[in-house]
Amino acid sequence: MKEELETANRPDNTAFTQQRLPAWQPMLSAGIVIPGFVLIGLAFIGIGVALFIASQNITVLEKDYTGVEITSDCYKCSNPSDKNCTCKLDFSLSNLFEGPVFFYYGLSNYFQSQRSYGVSKDDYQLSGDLDYFKTPISACSPYQYDANQNPIVPCGSLANSMFNDTFKLYQIVNGTKKLVPFDGKGIAWWTDYNIKYRNPSVTPLKNAFNGTVKPPFWSKPAYELDTSDPSNNGFVNQDFLVWMRRAALPDFRKLYRRITEGDYASGLPAGNYSLEIGYNYPVLSFGGRKKVVFSNVSWMGGKNQFLGIAYLVVGSLCVVMSTVMLIVYAKFKFPEDD
Amino acid sequence: MPSSNLVGNRERQFVVVIGFSLTLYLTDITWEVRANSRHFHKHRRRRSFLCFRWGRYAVSHSTLFKYSPLTFLPLTLYEQFQRAANLYFLLMVVMQCVPAISSIPWYTTTIPLVIVLSVRGLKDLANDLVRSLTHPPITFSPSQWKDVCVGDVLRIHKDQIIPADLLLLCSSEPHSLCYVETADIDGETNLKYRQALDATHTEMTSDPTEQTLAAFNGIVLCEEPNSRLYTFRGELHWRGERHPLDSEHILLRGTVLRNTDTAFGMAIYTGSDSKILRNVGQLRVKRTQIEKVLNKVVIGIVLFLLLMALLLAVGSGVFQGRVSSQIEVLSALTRGNSPIYTAFLTYWSYVILLSPAMPMSLYITFEMIHVLHSLFIGWDVEMRGGVERSIPAQARNTSLNEELGQVGHLLSDKTGTLTQNRLLFRQCCIAGNVYGKDELPSLCPTSASPQTLDLSWNPFSCGGLYLSDQRLVDKLRGQQCTQSRQFLTTLALCHTVMTEWRNGAPVYQAASPDEEALVGAARELGWVFLSRTRDSLTVSELGVKRHYQLLTLLDFTSQRRRMSVLVREPEGGLKLYCKGADIVILERLQKDCPHLESTERALDLFAQSCLRTLCIAERTVSEAKWEEWSKTMAQAAMTTRNHDDMLEQLHDDMERDLKLLGVTAIEDRLQDGVPETISLLRQAGLKVWVLTGDKKETAVNIGYACRLLDPDTRLLEGDELRERAGEKSALVLTGPELVNIHYRSKDLENLLIQEPEWGARFMSLAGLCQSVLCCRVTPGQKADVVTLVRKNTASITMAIGDGANDVNMIKTAHIGVGLAGVEGGQAVQNADYALAKFSFLQRLLLVHGRWSYRRIAVFLRYFLYKTCSFALVHIWFGFFNGFSAQSLYENWFIILYTVFYTAMPVECLGIFEQDVSAECSLSWPELYKVGQRQELFNTWLLAATLLHALYTSLVLFFMPLGVFYNSALDYQTMAVTVSIASLFSIILLTRHWTKWSVAAMCVSFGLFFVCTPITHSPKLFEKSPVDYYFPGTHLTSTTNAFPSPVVWFTALLTAWTAVLPSFTILMFDLFSDFPQVHITKHGPVELQKSGFRRGDSHRRSSYAMSQGRGIGRLITSGASRRITFPPVDRRGTLGDNVTLAGQTQSDDAPKNITENGSSK
C-alpha cells in the first residue's frame, strides 16, 4: 500500500523524465574509432575503384563543331546571318564503338541556370491549358506577345531559345553514305511528356494554335516539329522536352538520339563516318561552343572519372587519418616510458 | 534595457548614501493621503496600456490577467515585434512578396513566422494563465487586498499579513503598541514593535468604535513612494494640529502582526507604491550570456550575408554588362534595365535566398529546448522536496537554463536559505559534565521525533526538546545537584521572554529565537517560566511555584554580549543570573572557579559541532552590595559627563566574581545537506557569498557551520580590508561598512566617479578570498552587491533566497533562485527557479545546469552549422548561374529542411546529449568549470563552426559540380543530389546516440523519403505548377533523379567529405581528453563525519538578537500589556540604527532602577 502511495506521488519517474535513457556513444573508444575509420576508408577506396573501372570502360567521342577554326568545315556556317547552312564533320573509328551508343549535343558557356531565363515559361500553357494560349503569363515577357500582340506559343525565352541544329550520321561504306538510324524516342523524362507537358486535346493539333504565333527564333511552329511522327509534336516533342529540362551548370550535354537499331544495335563498327549538321544555332556571339558527343553508358551512367578519383582520394585520406590517429592514440595511451 | 536599469541602480545607491550619511533633504513631502476619502483618490489611480502610464496612486492589486480576449492579439504582436529577429523575418516576408526580387516564394518564410509567433504567443498566454492561477498568498491572499485604496482605515487582526504600508492609528494593546514580525522584509526573526501617535491613540482608544475610525479625517503629507525601508518622513494634519511621523508609526506591507489582537491603520502606500514592492527592483528581461553571444553572432552572420549579397549583386551587374548582353536569349529578359538596376534587384533576391542561413526555426527550437530542459528540472524526482516529496523544483523562467551551467558566484541569503531558522537546544555542559548526544547534528536525518526522554512527569511539557539525556533528568529530579538546578533556574529567569497563556499552557513570545529555545528547554526539563510582571517573575520548578522579585535587568547589547537579571529569591537571598558569550563570561569568573577546564573542553567540543554556545553563571549578591550599587546607579543617572563609561563600569561591577554553572549549546539548524552542497559547489569553482540582514556573529557562525569557511580561514573585517588577502581568508562586511567604504568620499559627485574603481578593487580583493560574508545589509544593498559582482567580473551570478528581502537581489542577479520556504512566497514569485531545498542546487547546477549548457552550446553550434552550410551553397552556385539568385534547392526542400528533415536530430542533441551521467557530474564537480570558462560556446568556437559551415557549403557545391560538369544530368538532379548530401552530412554529425536519437534520425530520413515524393508528385504539380515544379522524382520510375546511382554515390561522398574534418577533430579531442578524465578521476566527494580540528580561538559564542538592544527596557519600564507606564523613549530601536541604540539605552537605564528602587 505504501509503495503504491509513493509511486502515486511520483508519477513521472520514467527513464525519459529522469534523463536516464540508455545511451550508446560509439566514438568513445579508439578500438572502435580507428578500425571504423579504416573500414570506411577501405569501403570508399573499393567504391572508387569500381567507379573508376566503370568509367574507364566507357568510350566517349567528343567533337567540337562550332566552326571557330578556319580548317573546320563548319567555319563557313559560323556567320550568324547565314541561314540554312549545312556543314559536315568527318571522323573515323578504328575499333567497334560498343553500343548502345548515346548521341549528345553539348553547349558550353551557356547559362541555362539563369533564374529569369529559367522561369521564362508558362507551365499552364505547356500543360495544354488553352486559356493560356491566348494570354500567356507575364513571366514569358518579352516573348509573351509578338509585335502585333499575337500570343506566342510556346511563350518565353526558354522555349524560344530551343536548340535547333539537326544531325544526320552516315557511315561511309565503300564511298557510299549509309544513314545510321537514330532513335529519338524515350530520351525525355517520362513525367515530362505525361504530366508536365501536354498538348491541348484538340485535333488536329494545328487548330489549337490558331491565333497564336511561333516563337520568333523558331523556323517551324510547335505542331510541326517532327513531320515524321505526328505524335511527337507540340509540347511533347522529345527534343523540346529535353531542351526544356534545364541544365544546372553552364557546360552541359543534352541527349539528342540513341543508336539502337538495325546494324548499329551493338554499336558503331570501325570505319569512317560523316556527321551532317544543319547549322542553325548561334553561339559564337557569346563565346559559346557546340559539340557532339558519342558515348556508351555503364551501370552508373555516363563517363565520370571525377567521382571515382574523388572516392579514391577521400578513401585514402581516411586510411591515412586513421594511421595518424593510431600514432596519436599510442602516444597518449602508452607514454614515453612504455 | 540595461542602460535604464543602470540608472535605476545609481539612483538607488544614491539614496542609500543619503540615508546613511546625510539627513534627508532630497525628496519633497508631496504625497498627500486623505483618510476615508475614496472619491479623492479614486480617479487618480494609476492605469496603463502598453507603454503608456498615467495616474498617481498605484492600485493595490496587480492585474491578474495581462491579456484579455480583446487585447491579446495586439499586445502579443507588440511584444513579439520588439524582438529584432521577428522584425527581420517580417521584413523578409514583405520582401518575398515583391515579385521582382522574390527568389523563393513568400510561404517559405511566412509559414515558419506564423508558427513562431503563434507558439510564442500561446506560451505567453499559458504563462499568464498559470501565473494568475497560482498567485501566491502574499500578492493574492484575502480578496479584500485588491480593494485597499490609499486613505482607507484598515483593521488588522493578529497574525495577519499587513496588506499595505499603514500609518498605525491605534491598537488593542496599551499605548497602542503593536508587534510585527519582519522576517519577510529583513530576515530577522525577532519581533519589532511599532507605536501609534499619542494623539490618535488617546482619541481612538477612548471610543474604539467603527464610527470613530470612519470619521477619522486626518491628512497625511509625506514623501513620495520610495524604497527606503527604515525611514519614513511625513506629518499628520488632524484637527488643526501637525504631528510629525517617522518610521516607527508605519506598518510595512509584508510584515505580520504578532502578539497584538487588533491594530488599526490608515493606508498610505498601496500596491506597487509600498516600500517592499519598491524594493523589489525593476523587472528586467534576463538574457543569458549564450544568448548575447548568439545575438552577436547572428548579427555577424546577417552582416556577412548582406555583404555576400552585395558582392553577388555586383557580380550580377557585371555579368549583365559583360556576358548576358552578348547572349540574346538572356539580354532580351533584362532589356530596358541598366546593370545597376539589375544588381539592385539581385541584391534583394540574394538577401532573401541566403536568409535561411539564419532561420526562424533556430529561435523556436531554441525556445522549445529551453522549455523541455525546464520540464526536466521539474520532473527530476531527486529535486522534489517537502512532505512526501510533493514540491517539485520549478523553472519559472524557461530561458535561463544554460546559464545554470556557468554560474561563478553564488550569493546566498542566510535565514531560511542556509538555516532552517530553527534553534534547537542540543547540548549543555553543567559542572563540567556534558549532556546530550555527541553527534554532528546536521547529519541527523529527521527531526520529526527527537524526544526519547520520558517527560510525562512534567505537566507543562509539550515536546520540542532536542537534548535527550536521562542522566540530566535524573540529576534534576533527584534534587542532589544544586549546580544543575541553578543552571536551569538561570535559563528560566534570565531572559526577556513574555508569556501568553493558551489552552492552559504558556506560549513564549521571544524577541530572539535563542531565548525561546532556552526557555523552552527549561520548561521541558521542569523549570517552567509561567509569567512575569514589571518587577516579578513566576517560575514553576519541578511543580513548585516560586516568585522571584526582579530587581534589575541588565540587558543584552552587541557590545556587552551578555545579559543578567538580579532577583530576590522567595527565600530572600539576592542572586544575579547571567548568560553571555564565553569570552565575556570567562573573564568575569571568580578565582579558582571549579570545572573551568572541563567547561572549556566542552566549549571546544561544541564549537567543533558548530553549536552556538552561551555561558551561564550566577553570583550571590549581598543586600549591602545591592543597596550601594543601586545608589551609585541612581547617581550615575544624574550625571551627564562620561555617562556611558560610568554605566559600563557599574554593570561591570555587578557582573563580576561570577560562578560558572555551565554552557548551553544551541544549534542553528542548517537546512538539509547545506554543508555538503557548499563544499561541492566550492569544488566546482563557485564562489559562495552570504548576504544577510542578520548580524555578524550569526553569519560567521553559520559560515563555519556550512563549510563556507574552513576552520583555519582568516577573517578580514573592517579596516583589514585594506590588507592583502591571502589564500585562506574571507571577507566579512556589514551593511553600514559597505556604505562607508563605498562612499568614503563625502562629495557626491566624486563618489559616482570613484565608484567603479572602488568596485574593481573590492572585487579583486574578493577574488582572492574564498568567500565574502555581508551582514546587516538591506535588500537594496544585497542587490547592490550583486550588481557590483556583475559589473566587475565576467562571471554569472546566481542569487538564492527565500524571503521578500531577497527579491531585489534575486531579480538583479543573472539567475535568481527562490526557496519555497517559510518566509513567504515573494522570493519564489520573483525567482527564475524555485527549489524546495538549498541542497537541490547540487543537481540544479552540476547536473541540469551543466547538461543544459552543454546541450544548448552544442545545439546552437550544430544548428548554425547546418543552416549556414545549407544556405551558403547559393553563393558558390551564383558563379554558375550568372549571379541570378537561382536557388539550388526546391522551395519545399528549403521549407522542410529546417522544420522536418534536420530538426529532429538537432533537437535530440539539444534534449538528450549527455557527456557523462548525472552521478559522474556530481562526483567530479570540476567538470562544471567548463561552463564557467565558457569553453563550449564562445566567439572563437563559433567562428570555427562557421568556418566549418563554409567548408561544408564548398564541398556540398563543388563535389557535385565535379560530377555534373559537362554531363547530361540536369538541374533537378543536381538539386536533389545536393539536398541529399546536405541531409546526410547533418545526420552523420549526430554524436549522442540514444534510441530516441536513432529514431529521430530514421524519422528524419523517413520524412525526407515521404515528403519528397509528395512535393514532387504530379498531382500537386497539376494543381500548382509554379509551387511544385519538380515532378518526377519517383523512387520507382526510371530516367529520373532518385534511383540514379550517380546521385547516391555523389551524395554519400559529398556528405562524408563535408563531415570529415569535424569527425577528425572530434577523434583527436577524444584521444587527448580521454586520459585526462581518468587522471582527474577521484572518488565521489565524501564528507568526513568528524568535525573540524580547530583551536580554542574558534569558539563561537553568540546570541541571535537584533543588532540593537533587546526589549528588556520595555519589560522593566512597564510598557508590556499589564502595566500602564508610558515608555519614555522610543527612538533608535530599529534594527539599522546601531549607534543610537547604545545611547538611548544609557538614557533610560537609571530610570528603571529608580523605579524598581521605589517599588521596593
Model pLDDT for residues B754-766, shown as the tens digit of each residue: 455 667 777 777 7
Q: Tell me if chain B has a CB within 8 Å of the CB of A307.
A: yes
Residue B955 scores a pLDDT above 70: yes
Longest pairwise C-alpha distance within chain A:
106
Mutate to test the interface with A, among B1070, B1078, B1079 (most CBs of A within 10 A): B1070
**Class (C level, CATH) for B428-437+457-613+625-660:** alpha beta
Task: State how far residue A174 is from chain B, nearest Cα, in angstroms.
Answer: 34
In the predicted model, what is the mean pLDDT of residues B142-156? 74
Lowest mean pLDDT among A27-36, B561-570, B747-756, B828-837: B747-756
What angle do the packed helices A305-333 and B939-964 form, to 10 degrees? 150
In chain B, which residue's Cα lies nearest the Cα of A187? B1039
Q: Annotation-wise, does B882 bind a ligand?
A: no
Q: Are the beta carbons of A161 and B335 separated by less than 8 Å? A: no
What is the residue extent of each domain of chain B?
145-279, 356-371+851-1068, 387-418+669-744+758-847, 428-437+457-613+625-660
Q: Annotation-wise, does B791 bind a ligand?
A: no
- Stretch 164-193 of chain A: residues touching chain B, C-beta under 8 Å: 186, 188-192
Between B511 and B197, whose confidence is greater? Answer: B197
Give the Cα separation of B1155 and B1160 in Å (integer). Answer: 9
Give the Cα separation of A119 and A138 in Å (integer). Answer: 10
Domain that holds residue A223: 61-306
Q: Annotation-wise, does B515 bind a ligand?
A: yes
Q: Tell me if chain B has a CB within 8 Å of the CB of A218.
A: no
Cell numbers 553549536 correspond to B611
Between B430 and B778, whose confidence is greater? Answer: B430
Between B188 and B692, whose confidence is greater? Answer: B692
Q: What is the pLDDT of residue B517?
A: 87
In chain B, which residue's Cα lies nearest the Cα of A105? B968
State the fold for domain B145-279. Answer: 2.70.150
**What is the DSSP-derived secondary structure letter of residue B687?**
E
Distances in Å between the alpha carbon of A90 and those of A74, A169, B41, B446?
11, 10, 106, 103
Residue B1118 scores a pLDDT above 70: no
Cβ B732 vs Cβ B695: under 8 Å: no
Of the ranges B451-455, B838-842, B891-895, the best mean pLDDT one: B838-842
Out of B323, B880, B1040, whose CB is closest to A113? B880
Phi, psi dihedrals of residue B222, rounded to the nearest 5°: -150, -175
Cα torsion angle, A306, A307, A310, A311, sign: negative
Give the Cα separation of B263 and B171 in Å (integer). Answer: 4
In-domain check, residue A22: no
In sequence order, which residues have a C-beta less than 8 Å from that of residue B189 and are 6 or more positions away?
B181, B183, B415, B421, B512, B513, B1104
Residue A308 scores a pLDDT above 90: yes
Between B185 and B952, whose confidence is greater? Answer: B952
Q: For residue B731, what are the β-bridge partners?
A: B716, B772
Cβ A190 vs Cβ A204: under 8 Å: no
Cβ B164 vs Cβ B60: under 8 Å: yes
Beta strands in B125-258 (DSSP E): 153-157, 165-171, 177-181, 191-195, 219-223, 234-238, 241-245, 250-251, 256-258
Cβ B1028 vs Cβ B892: under 8 Å: yes
In sequence order, which residues have a C-beta less than 8 Å from that of residue B877 and are 6 or more positions away?
A113, B886, B888, B957
Mutate to test the interface with A, among B320, B324, B327, B844 (most CBs of A within 10 A): B327
Contacts of A188 in chain B (CB under 8 A): 1039
Q: Annotation-wise, does B612 bind a ligand?
A: yes
- Concatenate the DSSP letters of all residues of B491-552 into one string: HHHSS--EEEEETTEEEEE-SSHHHHHHHHHHHHTTEEEEEE-SSEEEEEETTEEEEEEEEE
pLDDT classification of B1139: cutoffs 50, 70, 90: very low
Between B109 and A255, whose confidence is greater? Answer: A255
- Stretch 305-324 of chain B: residues touching chain A, C-beta under 8 Å: 323-324
In-domain check, residue A27: no
In the predicted model, what is the mean pLDDT of residues B890-913? 83
In the predicted model, what is the mean pLDDT of residues B479-500? 85
Peptide bond into B244 cis (omega under 30): no
Residue B749 scores a pLDDT above 50: no
Contacts of B994 in chain A (CB under 8 A): 21-24
B717, with CB counted inside 10 A (0-12, 13-18, 19+), is middle
Give the Cα separation of B512 and B509 in Å (integer). Answer: 9
Task: State how far residue A152 is from chain B, nearest Cα, in angstroms.
Answer: 15
Beta strands in B970-1040 (DSSP E): 993-994
In chain A, which residue's Cα lies nearest the Cα of B1066? A27
Q: Are the beta carbons of A191 and B1034 separated by less than 8 Å? A: yes
Other Cβ atoms less than 10 A from the Cβ of B787: the count is 22
pLDDT classification of B15: cutoffs 50, 70, 90: very low
How many residues can be counted in chain A?
A: 338
Cell numbers at residue B1024, please? Answer: 500548382
In the predicted model, what is the mean pLDDT of residues B495-499? 83
Q: What is the pLDDT of residue A39?
A: 93
Q: What is the pLDDT of residue B559?
A: 74
Q: Are the beta carbons of B1071 and A195 separated by less than 8 Å? A: no
Each residue's pLDDT tens digit, B255-306: 888 778 888 888 888 877 888 777 665 556 677 888 888 888 888 888 999 9
- Stretch 63-122 of chain A: residues touching chain B, C-beta under 8 Å: 104, 106, 108, 110-118, 120
Task: State how far residue A23 is from chain B, nearest Cα, in angstroms.
Answer: 4
Each residue's pLDDT tens digit, A95-143: 899 878 999 999 998 888 888 888 889 988 998 889 999 999 988 888 8
Give the Cα separation of B451 and B434 in Å (integer). Answer: 18
In sequence order, which residues have a C-beta less than 8 Å from that of residue B237 and are 6 or more positions away?
B218, B219, B220, B221
Cβ B488 vs Cβ B477: under 8 Å: no
Q: Annotation-wise, does B692 bind a ligand?
A: yes
Strands B47-49 and B29-34, by their bridges, are unpaired
Beta strands in B786-903 (DSSP E): 796-801, 815-819, 833-835
Residue B1001 scores a pLDDT above 60: yes
- Stretch 309-338 of chain A: residues touching chain B, C-beta under 8 Å: 310-311, 314, 317-318, 321, 325, 328-329, 332-333
Q: Are the beta carbons of A254 and B380 separated by less than 8 Å? A: no
Other Cβ atoms less than 10 A from the Cβ of B112: the count is 21
Residue A169 scores a pLDDT above 60: yes
Give the Cα separation of B1154 and B1160 in Å (integer). Answer: 10
In-domain check, residue A166: yes
Q: Annotation-wise, does B587 bind a ligand?
A: no
Residue B1052 scores a pLDDT above 70: yes
Each residue's pLDDT tens digit, B174-218: 777 888 877 667 666 667 778 888 888 887 777 667 777 778 888
Residue B132 identity (one-letter amino acid):
S
Residue B940 scores a pLDDT above 60: yes
Euclidean distance between the first and the last CA atom of chain A, given in angstroms as a whole number: 61
Q: Tell me if chain A has a CB within 8 Å of the CB of B1076.
A: no
Give the Cα separation of B160 and B171 in Å (integer). Answer: 14
Task: State how far residue B800 is from chain A, nearest Cα, in angstroms.
Answer: 24
In chain A, which residue's Cα lies nearest the Cα of B888? A248
Residue B361 scores a pLDDT above 70: yes
In-domain check, residue A218: yes
pLDDT classification of B704: cutoffs 50, 70, 90: confident
Longest pairwise C-alpha distance within chain B:
129
pLDDT classification of B48: cutoffs 50, 70, 90: low
Residue B338 scores a pLDDT above 60: yes
Lowest mean pLDDT among B70-74, B297-301, B658-662, B1118-1122: B1118-1122
Between B556 and B1112, whose confidence is greater? Answer: B556
Give the Cα separation of A158 and B822 in Å (integer). Answer: 78
Other Cβ atoms less than 10 A from the Cβ of B1128: the count is 12
Q: What is the pLDDT of residue B751?
A: 38
Give the Cα separation of B708 and B711 in Å (integer). Answer: 10
In the predicted model, what is the mean pLDDT of residues A5-28? 61
Residues of B with a catalytic annotation lie at: 413
Out of B328, B1025, B1071, whose CB is closest to A127? B1025
In-domain check, residue A161: yes
pLDDT classification of A318: cutoffs 50, 70, 90: very high
The model's pTM: 0.78
Cell numbers 529532429 correspond to B904
Q: Where are the alpha helices (DSSP H) in chain A?
A: 2-9, 30-56, 115-118, 123-126, 131-134, 157-160, 190-191, 205-208, 238-244, 305-333
In the predicted model, what is the mean pLDDT of residues B1011-1037? 74
Out of B389, B917, B991, whose CB is closest to A10? B389
Q: For residue B1101, what are the β-bridge partners?
A: B613
Q: Are the beta carbons of B1032 and A190 separated by less than 8 Å? A: yes
- Stretch 49-78 of chain B: residues touching chain A, C-beta under 8 Å: none
In-domain check, residue A17: no
Each residue's pLDDT tens digit, B1063-1077: 888 777 766 654 444
In chain A, which residue's Cα lies nearest the Cα of B104? A115
In the predicted model, what is the mean pLDDT of residues B552-559? 79
Mutate to test the interface with B, among A3, A5, A14, A19 (most CBs of B within 10 A): A19
Question: Does domain B387-418+669-744+758-847 sit in CATH 3.40.50.1000?
Answer: yes
**Residue B664 is inside which H or E element, if any?**
strand B659-670
Residue A4 identity (one-letter amino acid):
E
Q: For residue B612, what are the β-bridge partners?
A: B666
Lowest mean pLDDT among B169-183, B647-661, B716-730: B716-730
In sequence order, which residues have a C-beta less than 8 Å from that of residue B302 and are 6 or more positions away?
B88, B358
Cβ B688 vs Cβ B681: under 8 Å: yes
Mutate to test the interface with B, among A114, A316, A324 (most CBs of B within 10 A): A114
Out of B332, B390, B1053, whose CB is closest to A142? B332
Q: Tell me if chain B has a CB within 8 Å of the CB of A270.
A: no
Q: What is the pLDDT of residue A184?
A: 87
- Concatenate the DSSP letters of all residues of A47-73 into one string: HHHHHHHHHHT--EEEEE-S--STTSG
Average pLDDT over chain B reads 76
In chain A, which residue's Cα lies nearest the Cα of B383? A18
**Residue B760 is inside which H or E element, if any?**
helix B748-768
Which percentage of chain B shows pLDDT scores above 70?
A: 78
Q: Tell me if chain B has a CB within 8 Å of the CB of A124.
A: yes
Out of B918, B964, B1060, whose CB is closest to A248? B964
Each residue's pLDDT tens digit, B58-86: 665 544 456 677 778 888 888 778 777 78
Q: Tell me if chain A has a CB within 8 Å of the CB of B401.
A: no
Q: Are the beta carbons of A111 and B1045 separated by less than 8 Å? A: no
In-domain check, residue A321: no
Q: What is the pLDDT of residue B937?
A: 87
Peptide bond into A100 cis (omega under 30): yes
pLDDT classification of B745: cutoffs 50, 70, 90: very low
Between B814 and B27, whose confidence is greater? Answer: B814
pLDDT classification of B413: cutoffs 50, 70, 90: confident
Of the candidates B514, B508, B415, the residue with the CA atom closest to the CA atom of residue B185? B415
Distances in Å between the alpha carbon of B930 and those of B493, B853, B934?
57, 9, 6
Which percentage of chain B shows pLDDT scores above 90?
A: 11
Cell numbers at residue B704, please? Answer: 563555519
Q: What is the pLDDT of residue B1155?
A: 37
Each residue's pLDDT tens digit, B1069-1109: 766 654 444 433 333 333 333 333 333 344 555 544 443 44
Phi, psi dihedrals of residue B541, rounded to the nearest 5°: -100, 105
**Residue B267 is inside which H or E element, if any?**
strand B262-269
Average pLDDT over chain A reads 86
CA B28 to chain centre: 33
In the predicted model, what is the mean pLDDT of residues B329-339? 78
In the predicted model, what is the mean pLDDT of residues B887-898? 86
Q: Annotation-wise, does B579 bind a ligand?
A: yes
Residue B617 scores a pLDDT above 60: yes
Of the candidates B906, B434, B417, the residue with the CA atom closest to the CA atom of residue B668? B417
Domain count, chain A: 1
Out of B388, B967, B1039, whose CB is closest to A189? B1039
| 3 state SS for B79-103 | HHCCCHHHHHHHHHHHHHCCCCCCC
- Concatenate the DSSP letters of all residues of B1024-1053 into one string: -TTT---TT--SSSSSSSTT-HHHHHHHHH
In chain B, which residue's Cα lies nearest the Cα of A252? B966
Residue B876 scores a pLDDT above 90: yes
